[in-house]
Structures are given as structure tokens and as C-alpha cells.
Amino acid sequence: MFATKALRASAAHAERTPMIKFLGKRTIPASVDHTPHAHPASPSHELPVDFKSADKPTSPTFSSYRQHAQQHGPLGRAKTGGVGEASGHSLGSVSPTRGEYFDRNELPARFRRTPLEMAEIDAIETGGATLVC
Amino acid sequence: MFRSLVVPRAAARSAFKQNSLPKVVTPSAIARLSKRSYATEAEEKDLVIIGGGVAGYVAAIKAAQEGLKVTCIEKRGTLGGTCLNVGCIPSKALLNNSHLYHQILHDTKNRGIEVGDVKLNLAQLMKSKDTAVTGLTKGVEFLFKKNNVEYIKGEASFASEHEIQVNLNEGGERTVAGKNIIIATGSEATPFPGLEVDEKRIITSTGALALEKIPESMVVVGGGIIGLEMGSVWSRLGTKVTVVEFLGQIGGPGMDTEVSKAAQKVLKKQGIDFKLSTKVLGGDTSGDKIKLDVEAAKGGKKETLDADVVLVAIGRRPYTAGLGLEKIGLDTDERGRLVIDSEYRTKLPHIRVIGDCTFGPMLAHKAEEEAVAAVEYIKKGYGHVNYGAIPSVMYTHPEVAWVGQNEQEVKASGVKYKIGSFPFSANSRAKTNLDTEGFVKIITDAETDRILGVHIIGPGAGEMIAEGTLAIEYGASSEDIGRTSHAHPTLSEAFKEAAMSCYSSAIHF
């Protein structure tokens, strides 16, 4: 082992140096530049103009996104006057006034009655016989 | 069973008739409906991935391993995307088994093996392909469970920048919210104008994997990797295959011209006809045979080709339909690719795109690399994909594989280069295998000896290219390879000797 080492050392000038070098264990870079750069496989090698304006994202974090997100009302509870803040009882009755009606057909389509098809009507009226005869 | 369903409905109908119109619904009923029927409140995930193909499922598993809460949405009903379901995997099953069949028919006598009556059972051939596919797709589903990845079967579309609405395959809908979102919706076969795909007579690669009988004749429009692989399968099973290619060489962009010519020669010997520099004008499917009008790409004599089946294999295009990109202001480029930066971010930085639906070659292994890198960018802030070291493989026989630059590209770049090559006909293992067609070609920088490109046509090229890819990734010289011991007798010795011939001389040639 040592003999080989000594021989190699003495012949160092004659030995070739491999291009592959062991660089050590991979480490996390101390600082990484995260500003948008063109993707290496991008055919144009440049980013569209609107990417540059994306330096300041509209929703930098999920929590800040939730501040303004809406789904059937705000996602987060507003401090005052938000949906769900007051109890239903305190909001008073939601019954229609006299002469006023809620129609199922005013609801979104998925809450309306499923339209009956002729085949179903026939099946109902014959107790299912049309399906098997 | 039926009656129990019918009676309440009948009762309801009779009750309906008795009621006076207008029909009213009380507010309390509305409240009940609201409570029961609105889509469930959006669930918050660290990462939501749209697409369960190679890019999507690898990203999902990697992210889960990194400790993120992950949801993966896939509408196909099985995981693995094009690759596992209708791409790489089923095609390799057919290529392998059709090669065995072809070899038994034509290459046994000289090996001292006498075979009796050989019959092809196409249904069983397809079944064995399906078994491979099912095993792998179910395997990915198992990996999802193992890594606690939530898997939603449904079609996703953006409701907002952070919310995705899913139309569930089983019915109903659901909304999922993600701090980060990865779009990995893949690609689809590019249609050919004038040839309407029915997947029976005019087929894409998907149809070519599931033909119910062996066609007498097939015209393959497009001489790229997909066309040549599927053409090889059906040619081996007995179909007369003609490949029509617009360009002057087969193999598509990237394949070295010398290798392309060699591949064409071998495939021609196997019975495949080629019409290069030829364009398809249109087709007529009204008769028993499809009539395909073609002419020289630069104009010239017209010709009509007859075929039972026409395989359209002119390439693939990104698939982003139904995602609702317009709702969040994301655009695609002129080729339908989502525009991203070097960290896979769109202009909405929490939305990243990987795989076939963005830049780069449409290859499963490239998508896998991007999946890991994109998750690492999210979790650690850095990732790594070397687009100069992505291998390409054509799984014909012999296989063709390459990585890095080809000779025409190096020449165009103006860099002084050297070429070392070694034929398999001089390789001992290839000789013993009676499988000696092809060669290894290595291109190096004339000044530094650094390997710029590796091109292989020959047995096991797809496996051997890994050594070339590693060499390019590490910036190796041809001498680094040439001075590395390769086991004897192996096909990989051809690789070593090609490297030796770059900086010195091969021993056995």
C-alpha cells in the first residue's frame, strides 16, 4: 500500500490527472439567487415581460392569500361583520314575508329537481316492467 | 330493489300532482340543502399536484418524503400517465415480446435451436402487456399509500390562484387548496391535419398498442422514435410497414446522422420501407384500404400509398386543456408549453410546471428529474437538472441511444472535435451473442478531451448510455473512460474501446 503510494508520488509528474475529481459531499449553497431566470431549455432563452413584474407575487404566502380569498364568502373570519360572526338567531328570521316564496328553480342547477326522462316515467308507471320486458 | 327505489319516487310524483303551483321551498329546506350540498370547504395542503403521470407521481412521492402534505389529482383513473399506461411501458412489453417471436422465427437455426410450429397469440401478447402495465400502475398507487400521498381521481381546474376544483370521477366535486401547486399534465399525440384519428384504422401510438388483429400493411407517418418503435413491433409480427418521414433522416432531432443512417440500414434489412424527405398530403379512408397521398417534401411526383392502418406519429404536444389557466392568467407559448423560469415557477411563483407540458424534451426520465428538482426548490431552495445530460433511447433492435451533442451540432458550434468509434463486430460479447450490428461513437473536445457526446447503435445501447450520461454529467474525458477497467467479456468494452480510440487507439480494432 505504502510502496504503491510512494511509487505513485515519485511518478506524479508522469501520471495523468483524471478530469473527474471528487468534490466532497454535496452541501446546501449558502445563498441561492431566486430571482427568475430563463429556463435552460427555453427556446427563447428569455422570460416574458410579465415574469419580471412577478417579483412581487400577488400572494406571497398562503396565509396572506387567505386574507383576501373568497369561497362563498371570505375564507378567514373577518374581525367585524364577517359571515358567521353573529349567531343565526340574532340575525332574525329568514322566513319569507307573507306572499313571498322561495322557488327551488331559483337555486343553482345542482339543487333543482332532476328532470324526469320518458323512460323513467314509463318505468315508474309500469312498476319497472318496461325495463325488463 | 328496483321497487324500493321506485315507490318513493312514485309517491313523490303523486304528491307533486296534488300540490298547487307555484311550488315552494321553505327557507329551512334551503338551509338544509345548503348545509348538505355545497362543495366541501377547501382543504389546505403544502403541495397540490395536477397530474399523476411520471412527473406528477414522482413529485408527489418526493414531496411526501420531504415531509410535505401532498395531494395528487389524476383524471385517468390510474397513475403513471402516458408512460405507464399508453407509452414507454406497454410499448416495451410489445417490443420485447415481438422481438422474441421474431427471433424464434428467424434466428434460431444458426444458433443450434430447432423450433417446431411457432404461433402467435395476439390476445395473449396484449394480455401480458396489460399485466405489466397494471402491475406498475398499482405499484405507484401502493407507493402513494406508503408515503401518505392523498390521491384524488378527478379532473382538476383552477378556481383561483391557490384553489383547485376537482370534478371527481365518481361524481360530485371537491375543492383543494395548496400553498404550492405543480402542474404536470403531460402531453398528447399531435394530430395530423386531414387524418382523423379513430384509433382503429387511423391510429396514434395509443391505438398501435392495442390493435385487435395484425394488419397486412401499415404506413407510419413520422420516422421519429415512437413511429420506428411501433413500426418495428408490427413489422416483426408480420405487417408490411412503410415509414414516411418529412425530414431527410429517421430518428428525429438529436440522433447523430451517422447513427441514423446505420439504423435505417438495419431496419430496412428487417423489412421496413422508408420514404424520407416525403410529405403526406392527405388520406382517403372511404375504401377497404386507406389511400395516403404523398409527394417529395420539396415538391415533385405524387404517389398514393395503400394501407390497412395508418399510424400518425409526428410528435406530441403539451396537454393543458381544461385546467382553467385563463382564470389565473397563465399563458402558454406558441407550441402550447407553459412558460417557466429556471426554478420551474410560472409568473405566479407558487405554481410550478414540470414534464411534457413545459420546455425541454418530452421524456419520462427528464420529467422525473424535474419532479425531484421542483420539490427540492420548494423545500430546500435549490435543485439540479442538467439538460445537457439527458439521454435518449430508441428501443428498436438494435437499440439506439445517445446523450450530449451529436456530430452535426458540434460541427455547427465551431468547436474542434475528435471522434472515436468502435464496432460491435469487434466486441467479444457481441460475437458470442451473434448480435454484432452497430457501433459506439464518442465525440470529444479536441483540446481538452472532454466528452461532448456519446452515440450508440447496438445491442443494449439503452443500458450502456448510462455510462455516457454519467461521464457527461461529471465532465469526464475520453481518457477517464479509457483508463477505467470494464469487465470482460461485456458489451461495455466497446464503450471503453471507443473512448480509447478518441485519445489513442482501440486495442481490438
DSSP A21-70: ----S----S----S--B-TT-SSSS--HHHHGGGS-S-SSHHHHHHH-B
pTM of the model: 0.79
- Whole-angstrom CA distances from B93 to A105, B118, B283 are 55, 19, 31
Q: How far is B241 from chain A, CA to nearest CA, in Å?
A: 35
Domain B398-503 belongs to what topology? Enolase-like; domain 1 (3.30.390)
Q: How confident is the model at residue B273, as a pLDDT? A: 97
HSE of B482, CA atoms in CB hemisphere, 13 A: 24
Check: CB of residue B289 under 8 Å from CB of residue B200.
Answer: no
Q: Which residue of B has its CA nearest to A40?
A: B342
Q: What percent of chain B has pLDDT over 70?
A: 92
Which residue would you say has higher pLDDT here, A60 or B138?
Answer: B138
CA distance B373 to B371: 5
- Whole-angstrom CA distances from B120 to B19, B117, B124, B214 are 69, 10, 9, 10
Q: How confident is the model at residue A65, as a pLDDT? A: 67
Q: How confident is the model at residue B42, as a pLDDT? A: 66
Q: Which residues of A touch B25 (CB under 8 A)?
A: 102-104, 107
Active-site position among B384, B397, B486, B488: B488
A39 CB within 8 Å of a chain B CB:
yes
Which three cell numbers, joined as nine digits, stand for B273?
A: 420501407
Q: Tell me where in chain B the CATH 3.30.390.30 domain(s) lie.
A: 398-503
Q: Which residue of A has its CA nearest to B178?
A: A62
> Beta strands B451-458 and B439-445: pairing type?
antiparallel
pLDDT band, very low/low/confident/very high, at B13 (cuts 50, 70, 90): very low
For residue B236, give the H/E element and its range: helix B225-236
Q: How confident is the model at residue A18, as a pLDDT? A: 77
pLDDT band, very low/low/confident/very high, at A32 (cuts 50, 70, 90): confident
Return the minimum-mean-pLDDT range out of A29-33, B242-246, B325-329, B393-397. A29-33
Residue B480 carries which DSSP code? H
Domain count within chain A = 1
Kindly report the average pLDDT of chain A as a whole number: 73
| Cross-chain Cβ contact B24/A107 below 8 Å | no
Bridge partners (DSSP) of residue B274 are B243
Give the 3-state secondary structure of residue A13: coil
| Cross-chain Cβ contact A50/B30 below 8 Å | no
CA distance B44 to B175: 10
- Whole-angstrom CA distances from B347 to A55, B2, B344, B353 are 8, 54, 10, 11
What angle separates helix B122-146 from helix B54-65, to the nearest 10 degrees?
30
Does A131 map to a domain? yes
Q: What percent of chain A has pLDDT over 70?
A: 61
pLDDT tens-digit series, residues B290-304: 999 999 988 788 999
Q: How confident is the model at residue B357, as a pLDDT? A: 97
pLDDT band, very low/low/confident/very high, at A85 (cuts 50, 70, 90): low
Maximum mean pLDDT: which of A97-101, A121-125, B33-37, B262-266: B262-266
| Cross-chain Cβ contact A34/B381 below 8 Å | yes
Q: Which residues of B fall in the annotated binding site for NAD(+)?
A: 222-229, 245, 315
A20 CB within 8 Å of a chain B CB:
yes
pLDDT tens-digit series, residues B396-408: 999 999 999 999 9
- Whole-angstrom CA distances from B437 to A20, B123, B167, B259 are 32, 32, 52, 12
| Cross-chain Cβ contact A59/B475 below 8 Å | no
One-letter identity of residue B422: F
Cβ neighbours of residue B44 closer than 8 Å, sequence gap 6 or more: A62, B69, B177, B178, B179
Give the 3-state secondary structure of residue B6: helix
Check: CB of residue B158 under 8 Å from CB of residue B178.
Answer: no
Q: How confident is the model at residue A76, as a pLDDT? A: 56
pLDDT over 50 at B146, yes or no:
yes
Does A50 map to a domain? no
pLDDT tens-digit series, residues B196-242: 999 999 999 999 999 999 999 999 999 999 999 999 999 999 999 99
| Cross-chain Cβ contact B33/A38 below 8 Å | no
The burial class, CB within 10 Å (0-12 / 13-18 / 19+), for B250 is: buried
**CATH number 3.50.50.60 is the correct assignment for the domain at B45-189+318-380:** yes
**CATH number 1.10.600.10 is the correct assignment for the domain at B202-314:** no
Kindly report the average pLDDT of chain B as a whole number: 92
pLDDT tens-digit series, residues B334-356: 999 999 999 999 999 999 999 99
**Chosen from B1, B25, B180 to mutate, greatest number of chain A CBs within 10 A:** B25
**Chosen from B26, B35, B341, B379 to mutate, greatest number of chain A CBs within 10 A:** B341
Out of B27, B331, B480, closest to residue A19 by CB: B480
CA distance A81 to B224: 63
pLDDT band, very low/low/confident/very high, at B7 (cuts 50, 70, 90): very low
Does A116 map to a domain? yes
Q: How confident is the model at residue B369, as a pLDDT? A: 98
Q: How confident is the model at residue B29, as a pLDDT? A: 45
| Mean pLDDT to the nearest integer, B397-421 | 97
Q: How confident is the model at residue A24, as a pLDDT? A: 79
pLDDT band, very low/low/confident/very high, at B19 (cuts 50, 70, 90): very low
One-letter identity of residue B294: V
Q: Which residue of B has its CA nearest to A93?
A: B27
Check: CB of residue B33 under 8 Å from CB of residue B59.
Answer: no
Domain that holds residue A111: 103-133
Q: Tell me where in chain B the CATH 3.50.50.60 domain(s) lie.
A: 45-189+318-380, 202-314
Q: How far is B194 from chain A, CA to nearest CA, in Å?
A: 29
